[in-house]
Chains A and B, each alone.
Chain A
Amino acid sequence: MTLQQVNPQLLLKEIRADMDVDEDDGLAPARPAARVAPRTSIPDLTDVPEPPRRGLGRSTLSAKFDAIGSIVAAICFTALVYWWFSPFTGAFGALVVGYLVFLGFYALLVSIGNDRRAVADKIMTVLMISAGVVLFTALAFVVGFALFRGADALRHLNFFTQTMEFAGPLDPLSDGGIVHAILGTLIQISIALAITVPLGILTAVFLNEVGGRFARFVRTISDAMTALPSIVAGLFVYASLVHFVTHQKSGFAASMAITVMMLPIVIRASDVVLRLVAGNLREASYALGANRWKTVWHVVLPTARSGLVTAVILGTARGIGETSPVLLTSGVTAVMNLNPFSGPMISLPLQVFEFVKSPEPNMIARGFGTAAALVLLVVLLFIVARLIGGRPPGVQSNGERRRAAERSRDDLQRMTAAAAAVSLASVSAHVVATEFDPMPYEPPAEPAADPTSAKDPAPATEPASTTDPASDSEETPR
């Protein structure tokens, strides 16, 4: 055990150091005058091959043996108990018994060579890993179940091009589709987004940039509203808007219910993102003389853009998937309705719910197909959110960095050209002024010819004093 832990490189070093000292000692009587040799010397390791490093993260052979051995033992024990000895039945029970037996055997095997703390460490590690495996398996199974059972319906192209207007419950899957629900979802979420995005982001800006007592009040209220159950949001819109104003369920009422549900989510998420914008960026902007509005528009919002987009898209994913607010407000229909202000307009989650109410297998298959379409839509939104966002505020993507570099090159050209024009004008006006040139003209081809300046502008532009504005605008995220 201890031999394994000794670094062979170090061992070699020591051995060679010993040899050097011996050599010195042997030569010492020959030239006593030059005897100022150090007591230790640095060994020459240039032609010594590097031995392979031991991976500290990998498990040792005995740990592998413990794990594999106890798995095999648990499988054999469970098979024995279930097939020969006892009246136990059921796959689930076998799984539970097998798992408990595995834990027992594993603890036993580990305890052979280790103390109690090591056993506790191993067992807890196994428990954490199994929690993760159970969770991800279960969630993948839930989603996969919808996709698997929905594949029957998704295979028919008409599922995405027709409505349910002429398709009855007994009709085969080659009749009817959910295009009316897809368009209904898109219309409803668009109206909801048209309200929540400006209002939510502006409110978050208000909370962060204006502040004050009223802002704290707004934050408290909007935090409280994140607790509003979505069905209660639907009930509110049903009892107020549908009952007193429109007198019918409509797509507009559904989007109002989604708005009431989504607004606090968007405000809270944007608030968190805006709070992460570094204070020195704001202060730099104020120091340059920008007012509040310019600071928000040119510094704060662009810096937080990717985070804001992510917040909005994730809020959209929740708004699309929520059934209970639209259950009360949108109404159920089988025909296409593109007018949100009159008549019922169904959406995807509600369509799932309506399909699976029916006992007919074809309708249930359609329900699963609709659920699969909904899941795919949410996953698509999520992937888009990941591609756009996922970066903290102030960190630019490659494209953004390239564009910023291009802009600063343009600025550089413009400024040098302007400086040249000024110096030319001053030359024609007073010939004496050529002695003093505040911004010496430089051919603009030089920085443009250097493609690496996009990544690292400093070395390419260092010699020229005129490039200060360029490197300034490089660092300010746009």
Chain B
Amino acid sequence: MTAADIRPRSLRTRPSFADAVFRRTAFSAGGITVAIMLAVGIFLSINGGQALGVAGPSFLVEQEWSPETKHFGIAAVLFGTVTIAAVAMCVSVPLALGTSLLISEITRGRLRGFLVAMVDLMAAVPSVVFGLWGVFFLQDNIIPVSRWLSTYVGWAIPFLRVTDAQGHPLTDDSAFTSAAFIAGIVVGLMIVPTQTSVMREAFSQAPVGEREGALALGASRWGMIRTVVLPFGRGGIIGATMLGLGRGLGETIAVYMIISPIFTLNWQLLKTGSNSVSALIALRYGESSQFGLSALMAAGLALFLITLVINFGASIVVARSRSGAQTN
């Protein structure tokens, strides 16, 4: 045996038969998942692109929705979606912030476990139940509040004014029903549990050492929360808010049950009539021709892109805040 024959032994391993099968199976599962999801994305893009090509850039500014006459755009529905989501945020963020701080900082032991379980349970309550509550209870009982807001606060904040076409203030009950305000409250309540559980998790990760340090330096409980818990949980707050926003933008059935659909920009939140992208799809899918369907898919694609951007932004913010908390 000469020196030329001595070679390092190959360290490559050949997987056994069972391993090869396992790897193959796991790979194909991942492949199937990706195939399904890419199929959804590509199908929507191709079909929506057909309608987008016809509508052109006016798709973003046109308020009408009549694909039959080639006059259609998402300005009105997108505006309605955003107003409903904005009202929902105003309702949900303070409630979620307060409740998550209550659960993570004030309650202890069994009560805390119970509240955490309740929040998780509430996140699973079907949206149609919220819709029923909105239509049959809130709709009738919120009108005095709407009227009060439009009468006494409306002169200062133009969003809260309720006027007819000539600018005269309206006070009839019928002027306040089925408004974006009511839908926003219902959607807001629906997304609070999601936001609360994300925020609570972020707050509970605030380091114990810093908490005790703040308390040892004489901070009150609120002082400790303000200087330790909230700065550490800032990413969690932003991420939870955006996650809730993504869910609120896509909510269909509760909004569809409450609003009366219109296809104009309605700046007055308290006034009857609003719309949203998902309600538009639920309203028009049945009567649509092939081209009408592709127009709806373009609208759905626009909504999907918005929620996609919001969700990715949220996950980046949450991930960054988590890694920061660990290095500190």
Binding site for B on A (CB under 8 A): 57, 90, 92-93, 117-118, 120-121, 124-125, 127-132, 134-136, 138-139, 141-143, 145-146, 149, 198-200, 202-203, 205-207, 209-210, 214-215, 217-218, 221-233, 235-236, 238-240, 243, 260, 263-264, 267, 291-294, 296, 314, 317-318, 320-324, 327-328, 349, 352-353, 356, 364, 367-368, 371, 374-375, 378-379, 381-382, 386
Contact = CB atoms under 8 A, between A and B. Distances in A.
A268 to B, nearest CB: 10
Interface stretch (B67-75, B99-107, B163-171): B99-107
Given A128-B98, A236-B44, A353 B257 contact: yes
B253 A327 contact: yes
Q: Which 3 A-B pairs have the closest CB atoms?
A: A131-B98, A321-B126, A229-B250
B144 A229 contact: no
Nearest to A351: B128
A142 B311 contact: no
B219 to A, nearest CB: 8
Nearest to A383: B121
Given A117-B220, A264-B37, A371-B129, A235 B297 contact: yes
B156 interface: no
Contact of A239 (B33, B38, B297): B297
A135 B282 contact: no
B41 to A, nearest CB: 8
Contact of B98 (A90, A132, A221): A132
Given A142-B189, A228-B304, A239-B297, A202 B29 contact: yes
Interface string B121-161: 11011111111110111000100110010000000000000
Interface in B185-205: 189, 192-193, 196
A375 B15 contact: no
B19 A232 contact: no
A222 B253 contact: no
A149 B96 CA distance: 28
Interface stretch (B175-183, B206-214, B221-229): B221-229
A73 to B, nearest CB: 23
Interface string B304-328: 1001101110010000000000000
Contacts of A371: 126, 128-129, 132
B252 A236 contact: no
Given A131-B98, A131-B99, A291-B16, A149 B26 contact: no
Contacts of A382: 120-121, 124
A89 to B, nearest CB: 8
A121 B33 CA distance: 50
Q: Which residue of B118, B121, B257, B307 has the most chain A CB atoms within 10 A of its CB atom?
A: B121
A243 B126 contact: no
A323 B128 contact: yes
B40 A228 contact: yes
25 contacts: A117-B220, A117-B222, A121-B220, A125-B221, A128-B101, A128-B102, A128-B106, A131-B102, A135-B96, A142-B125, A199-B33, A203-B33, A214-B27, A214-B30, A228-B304, A229-B300, A291-B19, A292-B15, A293-B19, A323-B127, A324-B252, A328-B282, A328-B285, A352-B129, A356-B136
Contacts of A264: 37
A146 B144 contact: no
B47 A224 contact: no
A86 B61 CA distance: 48
Determine chain B's interface SS by DSSP, over half rule: helix
Interface residues on B, range: 35 or more
A134 B40 contact: no
B90 interface: no
A118 B126 contact: no
B128 A368 contact: no
B95 A134 contact: yes
Given A127-B98, A327-B282, A145 B246 contact: no
A327 B284 CA distance: 12
A291 B131 CA distance: 52
A263 B35 CA distance: 12
B60 interface: no
Given A117-B220, A263-B37, 6 more contacts: A121-B220, A142-B133, A203-B29, A232-B281, A260-B36, A371-B128
B36 A223 contact: no
Given A235-B281, A291-B15, A375-B125, A221 B34 contact: yes
Contact of B144 (A92, A127, A142): A92
